Copies of this chain bind each other. A is one copy, B any other.
């Protein structure tokens, strides 16, 4: 019987990838006179992946990779003023208001009455804390865990810390790779709620095979009736 629900934050409780997406559109426009969009995307993703071990996840690392990638794509021809615009794109992302996804403001408080809620998110500590504060959702959560990576080892550590048994735990999120698979592998339950955009790094071609403790729903409103069956 489920007693504890883990919620991912970005693209599960509030919009995130759409903010990256809009920034990347403007980035492509800035570089359009040098390269077609596909080439800009390819180089940026390559730069992001090269820097990921050094930077980790989050907007600041993205910003640094957009600067580096723009210099490389233009072979140094880009002006300092254009680089300043690229930095400003990222600053706007960091200052962007938190926009809750449909149903979150109503359903999270309802679930908090019957279940212990954990917010389990990855990325930049400072930015995640600012978004959590801006969301006004913190008071519904028993604990907030901001991780640098979401894998089996980090989920185990978090669940041990809060004394949560895997048979009583379900993780809810938009990323099969980070939110669902590691938890299913440990023996917990997982409910996938996709967001309309998935960052290439989080994309998975294979869905989990039929699994007694895996569900897929299209909106948060479909979650509460599922819980007793997990």
Contact = CB atoms under 8 A, between A and B. Distances in A.
A78 B80 contact: yes
A20 interface: no
Given A71-B84, A77-B80, A124-B124, A55 B60 contact: yes
A180 interface: no
A74 B68 contact: no
Contacts of A146: 125
Contact of A87 (B57, B68, B79, B84): B68
Contact of A54 (B70, B80, B95): B95
A83 B55 contact: no
Interface string A59-92: 0110110011011001011111101100100110
A56 interface: yes
A94 interface: yes
Interface string A104-131: 0000000000000000000011110100
A113 to B, nearest CB: 24
A83 B64 CA distance: 11
A56 B87 contact: no
A13 to B, nearest CB: 19
B76 A79 contact: yes
A203 interface: no
A95 B125 CA distance: 20
A63 B51 CA distance: 14
A60 B74 CA distance: 23
Contact of A67 (B58, B67, B95): B67
A56 B70 CA distance: 25
Given A55-B94, A63-B64, A71-B84, 20 more contacts: A51-B91, A54-B95, A56-B124, A56-B125, A57-B126, A60-B64, A67-B67, A71-B80, A71-B81, A76-B79, A76-B80, A76-B81, A77-B80, A79-B80, A80-B80, A80-B83, A125-B125, A125-B146, A125-B148, A129-B148
